[in-house]
Amino acid sequence: MSTPTTPEAQGTSTRPYLIRALHDWCTDNGFTPYLAVYVDTHVQVPVEYVKNNEIVLNVSFEATSGLSLGNESIEFKARFGGVARHIVVPIDHVIAIYARENGQGMAFPVPTEASAGDAGQPSSAPPGEAGSPSLRLASTPVTQSADLDDEPPPDDKPPAGGGSGRPALKRIK
């Protein structure tokens, strides 16, 4: 006997339940819950804070007003640069929820339209990155090894005569 695989047999998405559970866990343990959100035309956030089609939001009770963690969307009011904004995030656009203090949490798949390349990219998306399926939670600049090769090797010898004014240790074998 096989199990039916229709959407009705699968039930509703577990994502909103997991988000609520991790939000509760963060709050109960004194951690600050953060949401990483994939931003496109379906998300209502201040676009000036969006980078690489992502925004990270503090969803603690202290940082939000009227927080609603629903099954279809997350809604709240928050201040950005002193201005109150109404935020609406569809549940399927949440790509991670985690504690700011220790990074523990859970990541989720990017929305399917994002993987296929959404035509409605926000105006703040850098040129050439629209529809890019490779999203990262944190972007760090990559240092090329060629830059490191241009630096002279460090001098292993201490300065002669202790000219720096600091005491120097001499190793005796």
User: 36: domain CATH number?
Assistant: 2.30.30.220
User: Could you report the per-residue pLDDT of 140-150, keeping only the tens digit for each?
Assistant: 333 333 333 33
Residue 132 lies in a domain: no
Give residue 49's pLDDT band: very low, low, confident or very high (50, 70, 90).
Answer: very high
Residue 96 lies in a domain: yes
Cβ neighbors of 149 (< 8 A, separation 6 or more) are: none
Judged against a pLDDT cut of 80, whether residue 46 lies above it is answered with yes
Residue 115 lies in a domain: no
Residue 23 lies in a domain: yes
Least confident range from 1-5, 9-13, 146-150, 153-157: namely: 146-150
Q: Please give the C-alpha separations between residue 106 and each of 36, 57, 78, in angstroms, as whole numbers.
A: 10, 15, 23
Residue 162 lies in a domain: no
* Joined tokens for residue 105: 């949490």
Instruction: Indicate the number of domains in the chain.
Output: 1
Question: Is 19 exposed, middle or buried (CB count within 10 Å of its CB: 0-12, 13-18, 19+)?
Answer: buried
Spatial CA neighbour of 45 closest among 9, 74, 2, 8 = 74
Domain with 42 in it:
9-108
Residue 37 lies in a domain: yes
Gap between the Cα atoms of 25 and 21, Å rounded = 6
Residue 145 lies in a domain: no
Give residue 111's pLDDT band: very low, low, confident or very high (50, 70, 90).
Answer: confident
Residue 77 lies in a domain: yes
